[in-house]
Amino acid sequence: GAGVSQSPRYKVAKRGQDVALRCDPISGHVSLFWYQQALGQGPEFLTYFQNEAQLDKSGLPSDRFFAERPEGSVSTLKIQRTQQEDSAVYLCASSTSSGNTIYFGEGSWLTVV
């Protein structure tokens, strides 16, 4: 596609619900990133994929967070048993294998009530 596409754009979840956030990167982009951005803060790294391999998941805040990219294109970030502190914008970004510039989607805004 023309850009990084994320869905849903907005999600309100009740505490304890599971949520799934989808990212469709730019076609042909090997690298895919997930970032979490709290209100008034800069994005914080969650995880990185190269094709279907998850090479770094050091930023995932707890074992309730899980990300996958089974076929090396679309990725899903899943949050189990959501908590209020999970409320944030979840940004997905992609780049080429040698690319320096990363391209961000518009984010999925998650509010846990």
Partner 1 sequence: KQEVTQIPAALSVPEGENLVLNCSFTDSAIYNLQWFRQDPGKGLTSLLLIQSSQREQTSGRLNASLDKSSGRSTLYIAASQPGDSATYLCAVRTGTYKYIFGTGTRLKVLA
Nearer to partner 1, 65 or 90 (CB): 90
Assigned token pair, 10 = 């907005």
Size of the site for partner 1 (CB under 8 A): 25
Question: Whole-angstrom Cα distance, residue 78 to residue 76?
Answer: 6
Per-residue contact track with partner 1, 89 to 108, x per CB under 8 A?
A: --x-x------xxxxxxxx-
Helix (H) or strand (E) holding 89: strand 88-95
Q: Applying CB under 8 A, does 68 fall inside the site for partner 1?
A: no
Give the type of residue at 77: L
Tell me if 39 contacts partner 1 by CB under 8 A: no
**Can you say whether the dihedral through the CA atoms of 99, 29, 31, 63 is positive or negative?**
positive
Task: Tell me how far apart the terminal alpha carbons of the chain are, to the nearest angstrom.
Answer: 33
By beta-carbon proximity to partner 1, the closer residue of 66 and 104 is 104
Helices then strands, each counted (H, E), the chain? 0, 11
Task: Select the span of 15-23, 42-50, 62-70, 72-80 touching partner 1 (CB under 8 A).
Answer: 42-50
Instruction: Assess 72 for contact with partner 1 (CB under 8 A).
Output: no
Binding footprint of partner 1 on the chain (CB under 8 A): 4, 31, 33, 35, 40-45, 48, 50, 55-56, 91, 93, 100-107, 109
